[in-house]
Amino acid sequence: MRIEQLQAFLAVAETGSFQAAAQQCQVTQSTVSRQVQALEAELDAPLFHRGGQAKLTVAGEQLLPKAKRIYQDWIQVSRDIADLMAGKQPELCVAAIQSVCSTLLPPVLQQFCHDYPQVQLRVTALGSDRSLKVLRDGLVDLAIVMDNPRLTTQPEMVVTPLFEESIEVLVGANHPLASQPKISWEMLSRFPHIIFKDGYGMQRLVQQQFQNRGEELNVAMELNTLEAFRGVIRQGNFVALLPQSALVECRQDPTVAIRPTELPVLRRAVVLVTTRDRMAIPPIRRFHELVTGWSIKTSSTNWITGAATVSN
């Protein structure tokens, strides 16, 4: 069944004439006749009594209300998709890791709102694994996450590298490790750690590092907000391994100390993920351009100090 067949059927039913239906549809009378005949053949039932006036048969009466609904739904979805492809979507949803939400995204969001004031932005801070899940489920349009090829190998995924950054040690200002210029992995194994909860890429990265080195990771607590990390770290004998982007505000806090690790320095890669079909939608494509443009123009020094800028 084709939409042109339903259109022809509805036009004949409304006008009572194949000739008048052809004029309404702006096609030839023979075209209308072929469309109706094809529909009758598919349904295996006559739809009109042919005579001086085309009158609906019993089968035609059954089809009429349903054909009207189908045709109206088709017209509406055609308009909706045309609006979508023209950039008239009502909202754009983004899932991102916390450190990106507080540093990378604010100037990007400001520029996007300037470019698309009619599109409502919805930004949710989630762990990397959860962000990729809601992207795959169609609940968000883009995700900014730690790179995890195991979860982004589907052919429909578009994965754009943004930046790499070192993982550093956060301790309280009076912690024994605060006096060290660099901290060895063996020393880190002596203290209780605070790590991100399950579903966060950082948890997996830290656990894998200790496992690879044959060192024991003593997990004392799992948290899921950067403020909670800083609040707990400043109070006790804990340590936390966090990426540079998560430590921007901590560098101005005299109650905590940030130290690099000895070699090998652990690093993480941050990527922007969406799907190929979404990249065809103008607001999503523009948001993608703004984020990737920021990652190219912002140096590592600006990143650490939080001096991120976005321009057209």
Q: Give Rg (Cα) of the chain.
A: 30
Contacts of 201 (CB under 8 A, 6+ apart): 97, 127, 128, 129, 145, 146, 148, 268
pTM of the predicted structure, to 2 decimals: 0.77
| 176 CB neighbour count, 10 Å cutoff | 13
pLDDT at 297: 62
Residues of the chain with confidence (pLDDT) below 50: 299-301, 303-312
Topology (CATH) of 166-265? D-Maltodextrin-Binding Protein; domain 2 (3.40.190)
Angle between helices 105-115 and 282-297 (to 10 degrees): 140
Collapsed DSSP state (helix, strand, coil) of residue 287: helix
| 228 CB neighbour count, 10 Å cutoff | 12
76 backbone φψ class: left, alpha, beta (φ>0; ψ -120 to 50): alpha
pLDDT at 306: 45
pLDDT at 298: 61
Closest CA to 184 of 233, 253, 223, 239: 239
| 303 CB neighbour count, 10 Å cutoff | 19
Q: CA triplet 81, 11, 4: central angle to 5 degrees?
A: 45
Mean pLDDT of the chain: 90
pLDDT at 15: 93
Structure token digits, residue 276: 């190929």
pLDDT at 301: 44
Q: Domain residues of the chain, as ranges?
A: 3-85, 91-163+268-305, 166-265
pLDDT at 88: 77
91-163+268-305 and 166-265 share one fold:
yes
Closest CA to 116 of 144, 88, 79: 88
pLDDT in tens, 238-274: 999 999 999 999 999 999 999 999 988 999 999 999 9
pLDDT at 311: 37
| Separation of CA 271 from chain center | 12
Assign domain 91-163+268-305 to a CATH class: alpha beta
Please tell me the distance from the alpha carbon of residue 233 to that of residue 220, in angstroms, as a whole number. 11
CATH of span 3-85: 1.10.10.10
